[in-house]
Structure 1
Amino acid sequence: METPGVLLVMGVSGSGKSTVGALLANKLGWKFYDADDYHSEENRIKMGKGVPLNDQDRIPWLCSLHDILLRDVASGQSVVLACSALKKMYRDILNRGGSDVPPRSDESAKEEPLAGGKFLVVHLCGSFELIYGRLLQRRGHFMPPELLQSQFSILEPPSAPENFIHISVDKGLPEIAAAVLEALK
């Protein structure tokens, strides 16, 4: 597989996106972004109150992230982004850009993808029980465990024609990183 300009590490809250993404960026020598760092204060407050985000909350955030990725890729910098990206539409916005109005499927194909299509989605997947247990142990994060079910409910796992790999989070961190690095060869 050709090395992508953007490696999107996605999954529900607690799947290990930030940890895996930072490790991969370090191993690859790529820039790392954690999408959680770019949520608006309003989104953080909403989630902190136990209210799931909707498309209207997420789309401006995703468009901002796309702009960051576009800037880096245009300058020749490969990037790892840790982002929930739970729906295909969200991944399309990250890859192709968008506006505050969700793109129709026939429109999204018209826009040029980032890095000339060098965009690999790494879906960190696991059971609700495993990930919920992780969230119960996590401290100091704005996303409460009570919102996990809402994320599983809207999750659209990557599928063809997306460029993706699924990796189970019941593996250890070294195994997960090795699987991604192998997929990049």
Structure 2
Amino acid sequence: MPPIEPSSPLAIVIMGVSGSGKTSVGEHLAARLGCAFVEGDRLHPEANVAKMAKGIPLTDDDRWPWLDLVGNELATARGRGQSVVVSCSALKQTYRDRLRREAGGTLYFVFLTGDPKVLEQRMGARTGHFMPTSLLQSQLGTLESPEHEAGVITVDIDASVDTIVSKAFDGITRLI
């Protein structure tokens, strides 16, 4: 399938709780779109990473500076005339609204959703990640579904990465 050729640079956030596959899907979608991918977890301040590694959920006050960094990545890419895909949990509508303001234009979200048992299994199987499985319930409790918001594509994670990326790509194509 040919790449999408939008009239202006695309800014896309791959969102969902931990274990939903944001990084894998984001990397593959960015490659398919021929644009940059930014791993949102790498933008977390060290204090946030340390807190999560200890199994302590982040508060809104912990998340605001991180969300500003994510928003800055979106705005910077757009300012350069470049499309970008960023992974970010974006669990609450207030977080997504802040990212929309920071991005400086239309912002699309690919919401990765799935069965909590699948999420827990995926989290337990990965290595080298700071987020413990014990925080999954906290994230699920914080999550406010974006499905009623404009510019959101919802994709179930109970499929291969290629299938998920194809569904996300098709959804973005329909929205632009």
TM-score by length of 1: 0.86
**How many aligned positions are there?**
168
2:56 match: 51
- Provide the residue aligned with 1:126 in structure 2: 114
Are the counterparts in 2 of residues 63 and 94 from structure 1 also a CA contact under 8 Å?
yes
Matching residue's letter, 2:108? L
Does 1:17 find its partner at 2:17? no
Match of 2:98 among 93, 96, 99: 93
TM-superposition CA deviations, 1:86-132 (whole Å, max 9, x none): 111111111213xxxxxxxxxxxxxxx623x2x11100000111100
Map 1:33-182 to 2 at 5 A. Answer: 33-97=38-102, 114-115=104-105, 117=106, 119-182=107-170
Aligned-partner Cα distance in 1 for 2:41–2:163: 24
Question: Retained in 1: the 8 A contact 2:153–2:172?
Answer: no
Kept after mapping to 2: 8 A contact 1:5/1:78: yes
* Unpaired segments ≥5 residues, structure 1: 98-112
Q: Amino acid of the residue matched to residue 50 of structure 1?
A: G
Report the Cα distance in structure 2 between the residues aligned to 1:27 and 1:123, rounded to whole angstroms.
Answer: 18
What secondary structure does 1:184 align onto? helix
Q: Does the 8 A contact of 1:46 with 1:52 survive in 2?
A: yes
Unaligned 5+ runs, structure 2: none
Which residue matches 1:31? Answer: 36
Normalising by structure 2, we get a TM-score of 0.90
Alpha carbons of structure 1 residues 78 and 39: separation in structure 2 relative to 1, 3 Å: same
- Residue 159 of structure 1: CA displacement? 3.1
Distance in structure 1 (CA, Å) of the matches to 2:28 and 2:60: 29
The secondary structure found in structure 1 opposite 2:145 is coil
Change (3 A) 1:172 1:46: same
Specify the code of the residue in structure 2 equivalent to 1:134: R
Alpha-carbon distance, 1:75 to partner? 1.1
8 A contact 1:2–1:184 mirrored in 2? no
- CA apart distance, 1:2: 8.8
- CA distance in 1 between partners of 2:44 and 2:12 (Å): 20
Q: C-alpha root-mean-square deviation of aligned residues, in Å?
A: 1.6
Identity of aligned residues (%): 42
